[in-house]
A and B are shown apart, each in its own frame.
Chain A
Amino acid sequence: MADKCTIVVFSGDIDKVFAAFTLATTAASMGMETEMFFTFWGLNILRKPKRFSGRNLLQKMMNLMNRGGAEHLPLSKFNLLGLGPAFMKIMMKQSRVPTIPEMLDLAKQLKVKILACTTTFSFMGYKEQDFLEGSIDKFVGAAYFLGEAKDAKVSYFI
């Protein structure tokens, strides 16, 4: 059986997400069976860049602030109302570093399994059509993830 690597992507900050994808794509490249479990803000990476989602008023207000889309992720430090991530994206482009959407494509190409948290999905009021088509392999809960992580030699929480 191949070695396994499991990564919880809790954060939706561009810098942390970049680190998560760097490790995931490298693990898959090293022949490891790799799974990423997107939960909380991490689910934003898989969301379509829509302004409006949510079922009730609070969810709608929250999602208005918590905009979806891998192109709209904040920076964990020096966010400065979007100035920080804008600078960071230019710097990453100058260094020919892949964007987060490109990293997601690469991960899919390398057969990294993309898991999404059902609890976040429900309390944020998301619908399946709020997510990028074909991006999510499986909607799961904590028990499924822990079952996978238990067999993994390498497991991260980012």
Chain B
Amino acid sequence: MKADLTLDTFGLLCPMPIVKTALKVKEMQVGQTLEVLATDAGIKEDMPAWCKSTGNEFLGLDEQNGEYRVYIRKLK
């Protein structure tokens, strides 16, 4: 999947991937997509939950050898 921007949180534990995502999304334009790279397995459940409570769109997640690529779109 192609995204407009990428955020690298490899090696960071909860809550940092979500906190960094929130700070990044704040700077983005509505409609832009973001790819979040993470190794913290919590991201699988945390990112959909974050999208649900902030009203942003969860586009999907790829997992390969313990590395996660999560895709989201800013809706507001």
Q: Are B54 and A31 in contact (CB under 8 A)?
A: yes
A122: B residues at CB distance < 8 A: none
Q: Are A110 and B19 in contact (CB under 8 A)?
A: yes
CA distance A96 to B39 in the complex (A): 12
A36 to chain B, nearest CB (A): 14
A interface: dominant SS:
loop
Number of B residues near A (Cβ < 8 Å) is 14
**B20-55: contact bitstring with A at CB < 8 Å (1 yes, 0 no)?**
011100000000000000000000000000100110
B interface: dominant SS:
helix
Q: Are A29 and B15 in contact (CB under 8 A)?
A: yes
* A57 close to B (CB within 8 Å): no
* A25 close to B (CB within 8 Å): yes
Number of A residues near B (Cβ < 8 Å) is 16
Question: Closest A-chain residue to B49, C-beta based?
Answer: A30
Question: Closest A-chain residue to B21, C-beta based?
Answer: A29
CA distance A98 to B16 in the complex (A): 8
* A22 close to B (CB within 8 Å): yes
Residues of chain A having any CB pair with chain B under 8 Å? 3, 22, 25-26, 28-32, 95-98, 106, 109-110
Q: Taking each of A30, A97, A98, which has the highest tally of chain B beta carbons within 10 Å of its own beta carbon?
A: A30
List the 7 shortest-distance A-B pairs measured between CB atoms, nearest first. Answer: A29-B22, A26-B15, A30-B53, A29-B19, A31-B54, A22-B15, A25-B19
* B11 close to A (CB within 8 Å): yes
CA distance A19 to B37 in the complex (A): 24
